[in-house]
Chain A
Amino acid sequence: MSIFLIQLSESDKKKIAIIAIILATVIVLIGIIGELIKKRSEREGEYIDGYMYGMIRFNLITNVDKFKSYVKQREERSLYFDTRWKFRTIIILTILFFLYFYNFRNFDFTGMYNALDSLTFELYWPTERFFGLTLISDWPIVKKTPNPVLNLDGYVTYTYILLVFISFVLILDRLFIHNARIKRAKYVAHKALAPNLENLNQPRQV
């Protein structure tokens, strides 16, 4: 390995160091984002404590399986009530979108493709041969910048894509909350209700 490093030129060493630093930064960023997601998951999961505390206190739920199934049932119902209008929005928008192209464009979606294509970047990445490998050697050259199509097809397409995207993100966020609560229920059910031999002589906290 050391022989391999000695053979490298100074600029190659610099390149390797920069790549390593960028990679490490990206991994650390992913770690931080993951921790934040984990914390949010824990915070969202605590919501079930609000109603399950009363259920256990008044002995309405007395075993682990019932606890889990009740939380699952209740959370699924809540999931439906919280996401139904987002799903309905997507369905209604899709129907309207297709109706527009059916009525006014005779199912010709060229306008939509042009509108979407006009939003993309086109980059040229300069490459170099590096120990037999073709690697990116410099910042990219921008060949095409986004240039939105401002006609009726463009407006319809952009509005549809934007609203569907927002609805979808909101659904994913609610799904994340749902998963956090189910996870918390699985974790807490055993702690709250499973018989524990260590606490056999102690009075049960109800």
Chain B
Amino acid sequence: MLKLLTYFVNGLIYIVLSPYYLAKYALHLLKTIIVFIGGEIITLFNFLNGKKFRNIDELSLKLETCLRQEALQKQTIQMQTIPQQNFTNGQINQQMSYPPNQFNHPYYQQPNPTQYPPQQPQYPNYNQQTNEIPKQEDKL
């Protein structure tokens, strides 16, 4: 009921103000016609000079450059951020680079130089055929 009353009051206000709105709209329509004529003149001059009138301005180009730079910076930061992984079993706490291979694998164990014949590197659960990384839960 209160909503209906609000609509009623608003309706009365709109009826009273309608001449103002109509006059304003008519003025804006006139302005639109002027904008159209101006735009056509600019288009014509640009066409005669072999250019094209585009919907681009200096500031929007600057904004585009800024956004591109920001996106590039974000991408660079993401590339530089290397996940730190703590492993309890292999005493390995090394930075893993991308893409993973058998030498930068977190479970890779350095061969003991004092042992002869040299011990082969150990790759627990490491599938060399598929180059698949074992999950930490599997190791544990």
Residues of A within 8 A of B (CB): 24, 26-32, 34-35, 51, 54-55, 58, 60-61, 70, 73-74, 76-81, 83-84, 87, 171-172, 175, 178-179
Query: Is B36 in contact with A175, judged by CB distance below 8 angstroms?
Result: no
Q: B48 interface residue, CB < 8 Å from A?
A: no
Residues of A within 8 A of B25 (CB): 172, 175
Q: B4 interface residue, CB < 8 Å from A?
A: yes
Query: Is B11 in contact with A28, judged by CB distance below 8 angstroms?
Result: yes
Query: Is A175 in contact with B28, judged by CB distance below 8 angstroms?
Result: yes
Smallest distance from the beta carbon of B133 to chain A beta carbons, Å?
Answer: 40
* Number of B residues, CB within 8 Å of A: 29
Q: B77 interface residue, CB < 8 Å from A?
A: no
Interface hits, B27-80 → A, CB 8 Å: 28-29, 32-33, 35-36, 38-40, 43, 55, 57, 59-60, 62-63, 66-67
Residues of B within 8 A of A171 (CB): 29, 32
Q: Please, how many angstroms separate the alpha-carbon atoms of A55 and B58 in the complex?
A: 12
Given contacts A35-B7, A179-B28, contact A27 B66 (CB under 8 A): no
Q: B6 interface residue, CB < 8 Å from A?
A: yes
Residues of B within 8 A of A55 (CB): 59, 63
Smallest distance from the beta carbon of A91 to chain B beta carbons, Å?
Answer: 10
Q: Please, how many angstroms separate the alpha-carbon atoms of A26 and B32 in the complex?
A: 32
Q: Please, how many angstroms separate the alpha-carbon atoms of A76 and B33 in the complex?
A: 11
Q: Please, how many angstroms separate the alpha-carbon atoms of A29 and B10 in the complex?
A: 10
Query: Is B7 in contact with A28, judged by CB distance below 8 angstroms?
Result: yes
Query: Is A58 in contact with B63, judged by CB distance below 8 angstroms?
Result: yes
Identify which of B12, B33, B43, B63 contacts A27 (C-beta below 8 A): B12
